[in-house]
Chain A
Amino acid sequence: MKGFFEEWRAEALRILKDPGILLLFFGVQLIYPAVYPLPYRAEVLRNVPIAIVDQDRTPVSRQLTRMVDASETVQVAGHFPDFEAARKAFIQREVSGILIIPPDFTPNIRKGRTATLPLYCDGSYFLVYRQVAMGVQQSAGTLSAGIEIQRLTATGLTKKQAMAARDPLPLINVFLFNPAGGYGAYIVPAVLVLILHQTLLIGIGMLGGTQREYGDKTAIPENSSATGRTLGRIFVYFPLYCLHIVWFFGILFRIYRYPQRADLWELFFFLVPFLLATICLGLCLRHLFRERASAMMALLFTSIPILFLSGFSWPVEAIPEPLRILSQFLPATPGIGGFLKLNHMGADFYTIKPEFIQLWLQALIYFILACIISWRENFQQIKDNRVP
């Protein structure tokens, strides 16, 4: 354990003396959570503008138009005489969908035939497509059901019987967790865990890169043990990131009103091995960075791939097997997965035991590796001392 305090002090001083590193360990945690959720502040996409081409011009078609306009997800942005005119507005991005009410719309309903409403959606933006299709289908569905129930009650059924007859096998959809379907509540918590992961890995790497690039004036304490030095470094980052956890999930979550089903202590208990695994992985990778800039770039280039690899936005079932196996070595994968289960889905600790164990295993393996690398530093220094 010799060298623990010396290295702890040396590492802390390296951080405190370097404004760039300070920015990474303190600034990012303040700025990102303020900026990143900004696009998603409305949480749900509402009132997507669509065009109506009403070639029917009857009270029924006008009623349909009103119902579409009244739906939460879409709004009628304009009436156009024909499809071509509406298409122009679409290309100009004035509307994001085109609903055509054909001239035979009301006649067909009267004759008891199915009246078809062509709806042109914008498949180039997934969320827009979903909201437009949902809003129009719901409005048309309500109108359709009304007509059908009218017909059925005309044959002598009660209203309740009529409703049962028109849909004998109804399906009720219930969203578990994130019931409002908020986009920010879906993406931001995972990104926050990723920020912890990335700033730790890269901050540590940047310190290593700076040491390599500009030479290290703080030499290894004499007769120190590799384990002691590694532990010394770990205990610089660990308390700091414990504070960040409290700030992210204790304070920011409340400000943004994100779902909070686990209590802070439970989250904390889960994130301890996550932090340890990430710090130790950082210490292992530290020596790969030969200059400061490369660490910074690594932070930038790896964030998006790691977010996808963690399997929260793209279902794990659809990730190719080799990539899925590779992702299991990153603390972010069990970290984000377990965090979402614990906090979003209200899972108990027993349910996330696999993730918890995996994180401890990673922490152990990366700790041993970090100690070995630190042990080799001794030889490096002896060699360096001989050279001059």
Chain B
Amino acid sequence: MKALIPETGFRAVFCRELVRMARSRLLILVVFILPPLSFAFIAWFFSQGVLHSLPVAVLDQDNTQLSREIIRRMDATPGIRIHLSVSNFTEGRQTIQSGETYGLVIIPKNLEKDVLRGLAPNTVLYVNNTYMIAASLIMKDATMAMQSLSSGLELKSHMAEGRTRQAAIGHIQPIRVDVRVPFNPYANYFYFLAATLLPTMLHMFVITSAIYAFGSELARSTAAEWLEKAGGSPWLAVFAKIFPYTLIFCAWGLFMNAFLFRMGVPMEGSGMLLRLGTSSMVLAYQAVALFLVAVCANMRMALSLASFYASTAFAFVGVTFPAMGMPSAARIWGDLLPLTHYLRLFVDQTLRGAPVQASMDAFGSLWLFVILAGGTGLILMPGRMKNPAYWGRK
């Protein structure tokens, strides 16, 4: 066994790192346990996938066949569940404020009579826009239910005038927009959110473990021993040290993709490019970690900066709120995150089925991080490793 591990060189540093990893509870947690745990958490959390049956209150001041039909139709939509009926507006508002319901439908007095008299009485839906996702779903479903009921009534009156059904439909709806969603056809929130959250979690593990791996050598003054194992070559020391992490996180990245596809995320583009992209993102964040450690020469500082860099990322990657709506400063900051480019590549290759060329700039950007951040790190790092002044800083 001993003969397999030479005293110095790539394999020596590689094996030394495996031992360091195995001895550190923190690294075992970050490298082996937390990635699958976080994937499982997110998958479980969004396991319902499509939202349905959100509670809504109703105030029926009419209490006729038609008003009951409205309630029945709304309740029958996938998004809405008529949860309870209230006797006045204040009471309904209260159920929204307490979080018991997300909305309140108010059906006016004399609704049925007024419809028959051709007065088009207003039904009002109040939705709580503090919870935007729920609000927009309820609004969409309620509008659809009412429109189908309304055009049904209109259709009846036209057909009563002696038109055929088809002529009547053309009459009441001269123009119809046929919304087609070729990308993410099920408008499934899981694809959209979970697919983004998984790489977001992964990038946090990649960057912190790399900072810890490099930084702890300086913080614990073990850099000399590290360099010695590498036969005095600082670059070899860096490469051999990070290599096990690269391998493991690339494996987690592949696992993550397979997991997302299993959960039903469509794969319309190039699977090869996606896999290369995931691995490149891992490398890009390891390069950024090397850069931060080399520049700060202080693990605490590097870790603080990395935490800031990674914890604000989700707001800037342009998934929940797209980049086109951001001010340019936010867009530039977003472009300085490898995650932004990776997610662009991910969306292109999975949901959109874009050709490989369309994702080349995103792919190139990831490598720009590897080369620029990694290159600067490689230039600065030897000085940090050799100079004891940078060791043991707290």
Contacts and interface: CB of A to CB of B under 8 A. Distances in A.
Interface of A: 20, 23, 31-32, 35-36, 38-42, 44-46, 48-49, 64, 91-92, 96, 108-109, 111-130, 133, 136-137, 140-141, 143-144, 147-148, 151, 161, 163-179, 181, 183, 186-187, 214, 290-294, 296-297, 299-301, 303-305, 308-309, 312-320, 323, 337, 340-341, 344-347, 351-352
Contacts of B324: 45, 48-49, 96, 128
A343 to B, nearest CB: 10
Contacts of A20: 300-301, 304
Interface string B306-348: 0110111011101111101111011001100000000000011
Contacts of B126: 174-176
Contacts of B320: 126-127, 183, 187
Contact of A313 (B133, B177, B187, B358): B133
A117 B178 contact: yes
A168 B153 contact: yes
B188 to A, nearest CB: 9
Given A123-B183, A297-B30, A168 B45 contact: no
20 contacts: A91-B348, A91-B352, A112-B167, A115-B175, A115-B176, A119-B177, A122-B183, A140-B175, A144-B176, A151-B171, A161-B118, A170-B122, A172-B122, A174-B127, A175-B129, A181-B129, A214-B394, A309-B45, A314-B46, A351-B94
Task: Say whether chain B's binding surface is mostly helix, strand, loop, or mixed.
Answer: helix
A346 B181 CA distance: 38
B73 to A, nearest CB: 10
B351 A179 contact: no
Given A91-B358, A92-B358, A341-B98, A317 B53 contact: yes
Contact of B120 (A168, A296, A320): A168
Given A127-B320, A292-B300, A308 B34 contact: no
B328 to A, nearest CB: 10
Nearest to B125: A173
Interface of B: 25-26, 29-30, 34, 38, 41-42, 44-48, 51, 53-55, 70, 93-94, 96-99, 102, 115, 118-136, 139, 142-143, 146-147, 149-150, 153-154, 157, 166-167, 169-185, 187, 189, 192-193, 197, 200-201, 204-205, 208, 212, 216, 299-301, 303-304, 307-308, 310-312, 314-316, 318-322, 324-327, 329-330, 333-334, 347-348, 351-352, 354-355, 358, 394
* Residue in A294, A309, A316 whose Cβ sees the most chain B Cβ within 10 Å: A294
Contacts, number: 318
Contact of B201 (A32, A91, A111, A301): A301
B174 A304 contact: no
Contact of A176 (B25, B53, B55, B96): B96
Contacts of B316: 38-39
A51 B124 CA distance: 34
A75 to B, nearest CB: 11
